Structure 1
Amino acid sequence: MTLSLPRTALSVAELDELDHDGVVRFVRFLEDSGHRMVWIPEVAGREAFTTAALVLASTGRLVVGNGVARALERVPKSAASAARDLAAGYPGRYVLGLGASGAARERGMGPLPFLRNYLDEIDATLERRGGKSSDVPRVLGAYSSGITRLAAERADGLITFLVTPEHTRWARETIGSELFLSVVQWAVVGRDRAAAREVARKRLAYYLTLPHQLAKLARLGFTEADLAPPGSDRLVDALVAYGTPEQVREAVRRQYDAGATQVALSLVGPLDDAKLDAYRALTELEN
């Protein structure tokens, strides 16, 4: 299927910091502010599908995607059943996103064959439940050429994260002109360059410990010196937009120009009043 999703979205890492009631208040704030879609990363403890269900139940119109659920953390039957029920319960409002890192090799195969087999088992589960693969819109988190091509073959699109417009251009050339491509763009709003770099490095520190992220960034041309913690100015400036809302919008436009179907902003930094103001200020990107 061809995915028809909002042209802009948010990627909301803040949910990891919030309790149940905090999540409800926050996502209702985003919806009331005019945002139309959120992707939920699975990073620091929140379970992908129960969190998606909470956000869907707490809002009336917000489109919710798992961006992405870690395939290694659950068997395909569980992922397929959860995704099917969310898609059926909230028609047009749910997208399954899946990803796998190099840790798949600990199970005897690389990420590409692992994800291929995983999708086979998801489709088989959906068929056993009387459905078909098209019942659940799905995207893959993809950086390598193999998984990017798998997304074109077996999914409705792909979602990328911590990438430059050059990577977005390569991904578009790889998958062709029609497939959905969402790019998660980090941003720090309302701070000067030095302060923005400091905020960004706090979040980037975790990703500079992950072999698959380091390999991806090396393929994008960053050197060992760039990737050594806490990350060079060159690395941070290439990956993170900062400044006024208009400066952030310019970074978003560069991703669109490179071939993104959708750009999902991920605002970096603590969830304080200034950040809430930034979410309000960026709402016009949705229009």
Structure 2
Amino acid sequence: MSTLSTLKDRIGRYGVWSVGLRAEDPARRGQLAEAATELEQLGYGAVWLGGSSAARHAVPLLEATRTLTVGTSIQSIWDYDAETSAASFAEVDAAHPGRFLLGLGVSHAKLADQYRRPYSALVAYLDALDAAGVPADRRVLAALGPRTLELARDRAAGAVPYLVTAEHTAQARAILGPDPLLAPELKVILETDPSRARTLAREFLAMYLALPNYTNNFLRLGFTEDDLTNGGSDHLVDAVFAWGDETHIRDRINTFHEAGADHVALQVVTGGDRDTLPREEWRRLASLLG
């Protein structure tokens, strides 16, 4: 069995994407460990740490669990230099062999003062990781456009695209080919009222519609400028969020698998603080996934 097949088997079909599980406050370490233990028991195969996370954020979760894979989604290449990332990776991997994935991305010009020639910077970063001995099959890229997806195919274990549609997943699979990991993130709102669900979605989506990397990707997928105004059209919201009753949410998640995803990283949106841990919603989601 290939290394990539083993990775896919290990993380399974579903994971949880969360900013809250990346908390810096040492006082929350016990809370994070308890949440990670439950996520493993619920059957999720991986946890993806939102924001510009790093290897150190994975440690409390890895220490509390036995089989759970923990990945950064994503670590900004502008926030951590490659040498530091490689050293941190080696330390965590020595303590928890094979259970940490280094997810990397170029972030956004509005969020990184040093943002220049992002593709070239990412290639140079991967070169430095190679030189430092970080295996290509233990890193994944937050790839949206064709060139970066090709880089994920050729220089990493695969891609972890954020804020995408099932159509993007199909296009990404065509570029990656059958073997690399494809693990898109999908936002889930456990709400059946259309008005309430879309209001929550638009509140959450607003910050992303100010970032050209995402809006340009939506335009490549066939959305129009009108779809990107006023918090996003119903068409856009319904494409990047799964909401409704249990059957509808399960079907929406399945469309990503049918489009070629090996694993879907599920981010529960509640309308509350993004740092909170929606544990009851994670339980409900695990139940509907079976």
Could you say whether these structures have the same fold, taking a TM-score greater than 0.5 normalized by the shorter chain as the test?
Answer: yes
Residues 190-234 of structure 1: per-residue CA shift (max 9 Å, x gap):
332111111112211111111211111121122222112422222
Compared with structure 1, are the counterparts of its residues 205 and 22 closer, same or farther at alpha carbon in structure 2 (3 Å cutoff)?
Answer: farther
CA shift for structure 1 position 62? 1.7
What CA distance in whole angstroms lies between the structure 2 residues aligned with 1:108 and 1:72?
Answer: 7
After TM superposition, list the pairs within 5 Å mapping 1:1-287 onto structure 2: 1-2=3-4, 3-4=7-8, 5-15=11-21, 19=25, 20=28, 21-43=30-52, 47-101=53-107, 103=109, 107=114, 109-126=116-133, 133=135, 137-269=138-270, 270=272, 275-284=278-287
The 3-state SS of whatever aligns with 2:51 is coil
Indicate if the aligned counterparts of 2:24 and 2:57 stay in contact, CA closer than 8 A: no
Could you tell me which runs of 5 or more consecutive residues in structure 2 were left unpaired when the two chains were aligned: none
What CA distance in whole angstroms lies between the structure 2 residues aligned with 1:69 and 1:248?
Answer: 29
Compared with structure 1, are the counterparts of its residues 108 and 196 closer, same or farther at alpha carbon in structure 2 (3 Å cutoff)?
Answer: closer
Structure 2 residue identity aligned to 1:85: E
Aligned-residue CA RMSD in angstroms?
Answer: 2.6
What CA distance in whole angstroms lies between the structure 2 residues aligned with 1:121 and 1:92?
Answer: 21
CA shift for structure 1 position 76? 0.4
Indicate if the aligned counterparts of 1:95 and 1:138 stay in contact, CA closer than 8 A: yes
Residues 6-61 of structure 1: per-residue CA shift (max 9 Å, x gap):
22111113336784243233323323333231111125xxx422211122123333
Indicate if the aligned counterparts of 1:34 and 1:286 stay in contact, CA closer than 8 A: no
CA shift for structure 1 position 109? 4.4
CA shift for structure 1 position 246? 2.3
Residues 72-123 of structure 1: per-residue CA shift (max 9 Å, x gap):
1111001111112212211231111100135399658422211110000111
Indicate if the aligned counterparts of 1:189 and 1:275 stay in contact, CA closer than 8 A: no
- Corresponding residue pairs, total: 278
What CA distance in whole angstroms lies between the structure 1 residues aligned with 2:77 and 2:230?
Answer: 28
What CA distance in whole angstroms lies between the structure 2 residues aligned with 1:283 and 1:105?
Answer: 36
The 3-state SS of whatever aligns with 2:242 is strand
Indicate if the aligned counterparts of 1:164 and 1:238 stay in contact, CA closer than 8 A: yes
Residues 117-173 of structure 1: per-residue CA shift (max 9 Å, x gap):
0000111122xxxxx525x61110101111100111100111111111111111111
CA shift for structure 1 position 174? 0.7
Structure 2 residue identity aligned to 1:185: L
CA shift for structure 1 position 183? 1.1
Indicate if the aligned counterparts of 2:82 and 2:129 stay in contact, CA closer than 8 A: yes
Q: TM-score, normalised by structure 2?
A: 0.87
CA shift for structure 1 position 238? 1.2
Indicate if the aligned counterparts of 1:245 and 1:281 stay in contact, CA closer than 8 A: no
Compared with structure 1, are the counterparts of its residues 102 and 271 closer, same or farther at alpha carbon in structure 2 (3 Å cutoff)?
Answer: closer
Could you tell me which runs of 5 or more consecutive residues in structure 1 were left unpaired when the two chains were aligned: 127-131
What CA distance in whole angstroms lies between the structure 2 residues aligned with 1:229 and 1:176?
Answer: 36
Compared with structure 1, are the counterparts of its residues 274 and 245 closer, same or farther at alpha carbon in structure 2 (3 Å cutoff)?
Answer: farther
What CA distance in whole angstroms lies between the structure 2 residues aligned with 1:282 and 1:105?
Answer: 34
What CA distance in whole angstroms lies between the structure 1 residues aligned with 2:246 and 2:288?
Answer: 10
What CA distance in whole angstroms lies between the structure 2 residues aligned with 1:118 and 1:17?
Answer: 26
What CA distance in whole angstroms lies between the structure 2 residues aligned with 1:79 and 1:211?
Answer: 27
